[in-house]
Structure 1
Amino acid sequence: MIEFYNTHKEAFIYVCIVIGVVLVLRFLTKLLHNRLEKLALKKYPNEDPKTIHLTKRILNALWIVLGIMAFAFIFIDEEHRKAATSNFFLVLYLGIIAVLTLVIASFVQIWFTRNIQRKKEQEQDATSYKFLRYVVIVGVYFIGILMAILAFPSLRHIGQTVLSGAGVVAVIAGVASQEALANLIGGFFIVSFKPFKIGDIIKVDVMVGTVTDITLRHTIIRDYENKMIVIPNAIINKEKLINYDLGERKCCQWIEIGISYDSDINLAKYILREECENHPYLIDNRSELDKYNNEKKVKVRVIGLNDSAVTLRAWAWANNFEEAFVMKCDLYESIKKRFNKEGVEIPFPHRTLVFKEKEPQVT
């Protein structure tokens, strides 16, 4: 036993040193983790320091992998030692790049999240912050991947090409499709010119909902069935849209209904106006001149003489789109009940069939 120890004494000492270094590194990692976790919980007690925990796990795994690689040097001859040393430092470099990329991306995420929350508390628009968060995080991971690529000699020319000014455009244009680039540029246009922002109620084609997020690729709208509608930015930039929250939020709601030709038009107009004026969501949108001239709060006019109905329209104003929609639904119900009570007929399509008698055949 003693003879075996004397023969491999240097190897035993080397193994003990490697184990000691790994244990020391893991101990220092734990101390750093506990210190950072304590500071984070003290400053932000309601947030879970996930980044700190993940960084600790990555570093501990890195130390173990490097320790195993260091053990392997015992069994490697001088001929292959240089390559093994190169691989050892390569793994160390990639581990450090991974940790730095993760930490920077996480801090960027946390910084943007807190600023977005602060903007919301101050009732300010946070659309630009939400969009820039995606841009910066993608940029951080992009640079991290490039730095990792530069560690491999066979791929180094790719990284250098991408890092060059013209190479960035060439690589992006070559890798990304035209549609993806159009969505990306569309997202920048939306954030820059702000036809709408997060929290606005918009109508695109027949889809109406609240904008919940604007990403690099698409815009997400939550409709009134609580469904999430994902619209690519390139499409939403081409479509004509209605923004109910752009500028003044007051909304004019048309209340259209048809009555039969035999019904009393004046009575129907009176019922429409009275039901609209009695609704709690109706607002007075008359100017001072209109009030001076005794204009009605709700205008009701005949707008069409159709095949089987006289179409009436009332112009009713509400504070916003949501109240206007609720008001429209309530008014259709109350007007229908009043029409039934007052004897105003709402027609439905009629079809007249004419039967011709068959002439007798002459024999």
Structure 2
Amino acid sequence: MIDFLNANKQTILYAAIVAVVVFLLIFLSNLLCRWLIKKVKTKFPNEEPSTIILIRRILRVLWIVLGFTAISFIFIDKESYKVATENFYLILYLGIVAIVTIVAASSANVYFSRSIDKKRKANTDFTSDKFLHYLVVFGIYFIGGLLAILAFPSMQGIAQTALGGAGILAVIAGVASQEALANLVGGVFIIAFKPFKIGDIIKLDETMVGTVTDITLRHTIIRNYENKMIVIPNAVINKEKLINYDLGERMCCQWIEIGISYDSDIDLAKHIMREECEDHPYILDHRSELDKYNNVKKVIVRVIGLNDSAVTLRAWAWASNFGEAFEMKCDLYESIKKRFDTEGISIPFPHRTMVFKESQLAQLKNDIQLNQ
């Protein structure tokens, strides 16, 4: 035993030093992370230090792997020493790149999150901040991935090409027709030209109406009035015609259209519709001073069509925003229908007159008599 220890004294000492260094690095990493967690919880008690916990785990694994790699030097020959050394530095490089990437992305997340919260509390537009947040975080992870690829000789050509100016143009030209880039460019156009922003109510068609909740690098998310999320690719929404109810003046004109029968009193029906509209709490007086001077009615009601079985009347009712206009429309359809029933104004339903030839009529009478 003593002979074995004497013969392998340097090897045992080397392994012991490596083990001590690994345990010391783990201890210092845990100590540093605990101190950082304490500082974060003191300054931001509502935030969970998940990034610091993740970094602590990465450092712990990194030190252990590097320790085993260093100890493996004992069991390899001189010919394999160079390869083992390269692997050691490769693991160290990848660990550092991973930690720096995570720290940079986390810092960007914290910065933009606080900026967005600040603007949300101040009731100002934060759409650009949110989109830039996604763009910066994506850029950090993209660069981190390229730096990691550079560590592998077989992949260096791809990474260096992508990092170079000509490489970037080649990559863009290569995927310009792809849907991913189209969505990214569409998102940039949305942020740059601002046809809508987060919090706006937009309408693409009758099935896609709601509030914009997020604009990412790939898609725009709309929450409709059934509390369902509609995910629309930026490339699609960027070329679609849409209505933004919060762009510019938020006042909204709501059409109240009802058909009455031809034998109903049109003037009475118009009077009822105007009266019900003017009595609604959400109605706005959209008349100019000249209109008021000329005694123009607060709500205009006109005949807009003579259809097959009904005379169509339309009232132009104004509300302060789209939500109130929709609620007002629902209320008015109910109240007008009740008033029409009380005042004897009938709302016709479609009916069809059938004309029979004499031979067909005779056959029909015979069939009836036989059935009786």
Deviation at 1:175, TM superposition (A): 5.0
Q: Which moved more, 1:341-350 or 1:144-153?
A: 144-153
Deviation at 1:26, TM superposition (A): 0.6
1:258-297 paired onto structure 2 within 5 Å? 258-297=259-298
Superimposed CA distance per residue, residues 225-269 of structure 1 (whole angstroms, 9 cap, x where no aligned partner): 111111111111111110000011100000000000000001100
Superimposed CA distance per residue, residues 186-242 of structure 1 (whole angstroms, 9 cap, x where no aligned partner): 111100010000000001133111001111111111111111111111111111110
Say whether the 8 Å CA contact 2:175–2:181 is kept in structure 1.
Answer: no
Match of 2:105 in 1: 105
Deviation at 1:10, TM superposition (A): 1.4
Say whether the 8 Å CA contact 2:149–2:156 is kept in structure 1.
Answer: yes
Unaligned runs of 5+ in 2: 363-372
Match of 1:318 in 2: 319
- 1:336 matched to 2:334: no
Match of 1:6 in 2: 6
Superimposed CA distance per residue, residues 85-121 of structure 1 (whole angstroms, 9 cap, x where no aligned partner): 1100100000000010011011101110110000101
Deviation at 1:34, TM superposition (A): 1.4
Aligned counterparts of 2:177 and 2:104: Cα–Cα separation in 1: 29
Superimposed CA distance per residue, residues 310-358 of structure 1 (whole angstroms, 9 cap, x where no aligned partner): 0000000001000000000111011111111110000011111223332
Match of 2:28 in 1: 28
The 3-state SS of whatever aligns with 2:254 is: strand
Deviation at 1:139, TM superposition (A): 0.7
Say whether the 8 Å CA contact 1:260–1:308 is kept in structure 2.
Answer: yes
Distance 1:176 1:20, change over 3 A: farther
The 3-state SS of whatever aligns with 1:358 is: helix
Superimposed CA distance per residue, residues 100-148 of structure 1 (whole angstroms, 9 cap, x where no aligned partner): 0011011101110110000101111000001011111111011111111
Match of 1:159 in 2: 159
Deviation at 1:285, TM superposition (A): 1.1
1:231-246 paired onto structure 2 within 5 Å? 231-246=232-247
Deviation at 1:48, TM superposition (A): 0.6
Match of 1:357 in 2: 358
Match of 2:258 in 1: 257
> Counterpart of 1:182 in structure 2: which amino acid?
A
- 1:72 matched to 2:76: no
Aligned counterparts of 1:55 and 1:176: Cα–Cα separation in 2: 37
The 3-state SS of whatever aligns with 2:359 is: coil
Match of 2:299 in 1: 298
> Counterpart of 2:69 in structure 1: which amino acid?
M
**After TM superposition, where is structure 1 displaced by more than 3 Å over at least 4 residues in a row?**
none
Say whether the 8 Å CA contact 2:176–2:182 is kept in structure 1.
Answer: no
Aligned counterparts of 2:172 and 2:50: Cα–Cα separation in 1: 32
Match of 1:44 in 2: 44
Aligned counterparts of 2:179 and 2:245: Cα–Cα separation in 1: 28
Aligned counterparts of 1:348 and 1:155: Cα–Cα separation in 2: 73
The 3-state SS of whatever aligns with 2:358 is: coil
Aligned counterparts of 2:332 and 2:241: Cα–Cα separation in 1: 29
Identity %: 70
The 3-state SS of whatever aligns with 1:245 is: coil
Say whether the 8 Å CA contact 1:220–1:228 is kept in structure 2.
Answer: yes
Distance 1:169 1:313, change over 3 A: same
> Counterpart of 1:306 in structure 2: which amino acid?
N
Superimposed CA distance per residue, residues 40-66 of structure 1 (whole angstroms, 9 cap, x where no aligned partner): 112111111111111111101100111
> Counterpart of 1:120 in structure 2: which amino acid?
R
The 3-state SS of whatever aligns with 1:315 is: strand
Deviation at 1:176, TM superposition (A): 6.5
Say whether the 8 Å CA contact 2:303–2:311 is kept in structure 1.
Answer: yes
Q: How many residues matched?
A: 361
TM-score (norm 2): 0.94
1:113-262 paired onto structure 2 within 5 Å? 113-174=113-174, 177-206=177-206, 207-262=208-263
Say whether the 8 Å CA contact 1:205–1:239 is kept in structure 2.
Answer: no
Deviation at 1:20, TM superposition (A): 0.3
Aligned counterparts of 2:275 and 2:112: Cα–Cα separation in 1: 51
Q: Which moved more, 1:89-98 or 1:284-293?
A: 284-293
The 3-state SS of whatever aligns with 1:344 is: coil
Say whether the 8 Å CA contact 1:200–1:244 is kept in structure 2.
Answer: yes
Coordinate RMSD, CA, aligned: 1.4
The 3-state SS of whatever aligns with 2:226 is: coil
Say whether the 8 Å CA contact 1:219–1:232 is kept in structure 2.
Answer: yes
Aligned counterparts of 1:236 and 1:48: Cα–Cα separation in 2: 36
Deviation at 1:177, TM superposition (A): 4.7
Aligned counterparts of 1:294 and 1:49: Cα–Cα separation in 2: 66
Say whether the 8 Å CA contact 1:300–1:315 is kept in structure 2.
Answer: yes
Aligned counterparts of 2:109 and 2:136: Cα–Cα separation in 1: 9
Superimposed CA distance per residue, residues 243-302 of structure 1 (whole angstroms, 9 cap, x where no aligned partner): 000011100000000000000001100110111111111111111111111111111111
